[in-house]
């Protein structure tokens, strides 16, 4: 049962939930959910709203390479909808990072239901990590990092810098509703490679190893 009463009303999202027995379609302001459990990150956080299914699929389709061997990371994962969707592609692993404990709980519950209903999904290693994305240490290797306008400039600067400092592995950033695109546009290491109107894709090439 959906414990959250406010719904964004997006029919396709509601259909997705009904078809798959999960709870992802909602519009939730963190200050009304579990503000005390979130701490300082609350100040820079946006609300929870899931990515429309078709738009997320379009962003993945616009990637210039096969995703085999890449790890998918959703920064600000909410109830985990895009982690579920990413699992239908051959990523090595799909991770959602979320600051709200209540949303993490729902996302983990969704993962259990999804796995039970879909034992044959191509990506079986799915995780929800609780924490502030600004302090998140990205896993090694090739990454696809997804952002659906999760927070303001201060936190995004920290995330972008952590990515830019990685010394191995290629990284693609999918930035939906890119309110703070300036951070990537003005950074020497990120290159915009596609513009879908509702979102941008940036490439962060692997840093050449010093000999």
SS3 annotation, 46-107: CCECCCCHHHHHHHHHCCCCCCCCCEEEEECCCCCHHHHHHCCCCCCEEEEEECCHHHHHHH
Q: Does 74 bind ligand SAM (CB under 6 A)?
A: yes
Binding string, residues 147-186; x marks residues near ligand SAM by CB under 6 A: -xxxx---x-------------------------------
Q: Does 70 bind ligand SAM (CB under 6 A)?
A: no
Tokens of 68: 């085999």
E strands within the chain?
71-75, 93-98, 126-130, 143-148, 171-176, 191-195, 199-204
Shortest separation between residue 157's beta carbon and ligand SAM, angstroms:
12
Of 49 and 142, which has the nearer Cβ to ligand SAM?
49
Q: Is 202 in the site for ligand SAM (CB under 6 A)?
A: no
CA 33 centroid distance within chain: 20
Distance CA 207, CA 103 (A): 35
Is residue 30 near ligand SAM by the rule CB under 6 A?
Answer: yes
CB of 37 to ligand SAM, least distance (A): 11
Give the residue among 199, 193, 163, 194 at the shortest CA–CA distance from 181.
199
Query: Can you name the residues that pair with 195 across neighbouring β-strands?
Result: 200
| Angle formed at CA 37 by CA 33 and CA 39, multiple of 5 degrees | 110
Q: Total residues at the site for ligand SAM (CB under 6 A)?
A: 27
> Taking CB under 6 A as the rule, which mask of x and - marks residues 106-145 in contact with ligand SAM?
--------------------------xxx-----------
Compute the least distance from the CB of residue 44 to ligand SAM, in Å: 6
Options 13, 76, 178, 199; binder of ligand SAM; rule CB under 6 A: 76
* Nearest approach, Cβ of residue 210 and ligand SAM (Å): 32
Tell which one of 46, 55, 88, 93 touches ligand SAM (CB under 6 A): 46
Local structure of residue 188 (DSSP, 8 states): T
Report the 10 Å Cβ neighbour count for 84: 26
Q: Which stretch binds ligand SAM (CB under 6 A): 49-57, 116-124, 161-169, 195-203?
A: 49-57
Q: Interface with ligand SAM by CB under 6 A: which residues?
A: 30, 41, 45-46, 48-51, 74, 76-78, 81-82, 97-100, 103, 132-134, 148-151, 155
């Amino acid at each position: 049962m959906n414990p959250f009463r406010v719904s964004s009303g997006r029919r396709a999202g509601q259909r997705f939930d009904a078809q798959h027995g999960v709870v992802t379609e909602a519009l939730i302001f963190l200050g009304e959910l579990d503000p005390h459990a979130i701490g300082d990150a609350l100040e820079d956080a946006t609300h929870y709203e899931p990515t429309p299914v078709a738009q997320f699929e379009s962003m993945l389709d616009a990637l210039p390479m096969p995703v085999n061997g890449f790890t998918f990371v959703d920064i600000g994962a909410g109830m985990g909808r895009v982690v579920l969707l990413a699992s239908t592609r051959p990523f090595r692993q799909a991770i959602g990072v979320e600051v709200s404990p209540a949303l993490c709980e729902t996302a983990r519950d969704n993962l259990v239901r999804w796995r039970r209903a879909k034992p044959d999904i191509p990506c079986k290693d799915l995780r929800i990590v609780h924490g502030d994305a600004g302090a998140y240490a990205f896993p090694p290797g090739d990454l696809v990092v997804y952002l659906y306008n999760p927070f303001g400039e201060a936190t995004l600067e920290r995330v972008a810098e952590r990515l830019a400092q990685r010394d191995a592995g290629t990284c693609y950033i999918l930035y939906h509703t890119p309110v703070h695109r300036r951070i990537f546009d003005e950074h020497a290491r990120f290159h915009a490679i596609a513009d879908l109107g509702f979102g941008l894709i940036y490439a962060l090439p692997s840093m050449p190893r010093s000999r």
